[in-house]
Amino acid sequence: MYAIGFFWLIGWWLKEDSKRHGVTWVYDMGLFLYLVWVFIIPYYLFKTRGIKAFITILAFVGIFLGTYLVGVIVSML
């Protein structure tokens, strides 16, 4: 469920954000994201936001680490 939810969320965010910035994507976004999402997300962010992409990347990392820590705390309780 984690992998499916993760790729669904990234794909949904990319699709919605692409509409605002006028970026077109490949036909099979799911396979494309599954194979190269690590490279596509930073490229897309720097292409559409410039140097402000670091803020978005740090927000993603912060959300991931925050939810991971909540999971660890809940599992210890």
What are 2-35's pLDDT values in tens digits?
778 877 787 787 778 777 777 776 666 667 777 7
Domains identified in the chain, total number: 1
Question: Cα(24)–Cα(15) distance, rounded to whole angstroms?
Answer: 9
pLDDT in tens, 26-38: 666 667 777 777 8
Per-residue model confidence as pLDDT tens digits over 30-72: 677 777 778 878 888 888 888 988 998 899 899 989 999 999 9
- Note down the domain range covering 62: 2-76
25 Ramachandran zone, left/alpha/beta (phi>0; psi -120 to 50): beta
